[in-house]
Amino acid sequence: MIAFVQGPVAHIAAGTAVVEVGGVGMAVQCTPNTLAGLRLGETARLATSLVVREDSLTLFGFADDDERALFEILQAAPGVGPRLAQAMLAVHSPDALRAAVAGGDEKALIAVPGIGKAKAAKLLLEYKDKLGAPHGAVPAQKPVATGPAPWHEQLHAALVGLGYAPREADEAVAAVTPEAEAQPVPDVGALLRAALRGLNRTR
């Protein structure tokens, strides 16, 4: 198991960061919130989980060990693969997911692309007693400083990565633009959640 990678950030793209480790570029799949905290050329440490398939080895990266541990619990549920588990963590923080499961909040799970009402109900039962209690108050998302791309490009890439069509992503970005422009530094994580709520209402 590759528990973490640490080194200079060589490249950042939609859903992926490349971290140089011992002269080797390690491609790591990350959520928009995790990517927003990385800076090209600066040293980063990402907790990682290696997913092995017959035709691929995919390394998923997380801001900390708690997020990685939750990812591994989430994807162990029937019908939940690594991409859906990552989508859950793109929409909700680990403690927000724990609070949702503890409170039986179907709407919180339905906000994740790929989860409908029936699946949300099954997952609440599946995850009960597995995620544990929230570690504390659900933290606010950290504001994003000058990042690898403008906020609207990060948001658009995140929505497409979560399975929405480019046209839907364009409309969602336009819908949250007034909210973003009202912030001194747009918070991509909060804007992503707002965009997903809007998309779910229109479907």
Domains of the chain by start residue, with CATH: 4-62 (2.40.50.140), 78-127 (1.10.150.20), 151-202 (1.10.8)
Q: In 10 A of CB 190, how many CB atoms?
A: 18
d(CA 111, CA 198): 10
Mean pLDDT of all residues in 153-157? 77
d(CA 193, CA 175): 12
pLDDT of the residue at 140: 43
d(CA 166, CA 157): 9
pLDDT of 114 higher than 90: no
Token pair for residue 8?
């200079």
pLDDT digits (tens, 9 = 90+) for 64-104: 999 999 999 999 898 899 999 999 998 888 998 999 999 99
Note the Cα 137 to chain centre separation in Å.
Answer: 19
d(CA 55, CA 77): 22
Query: What pTM value is reported for the model?
Result: 0.68
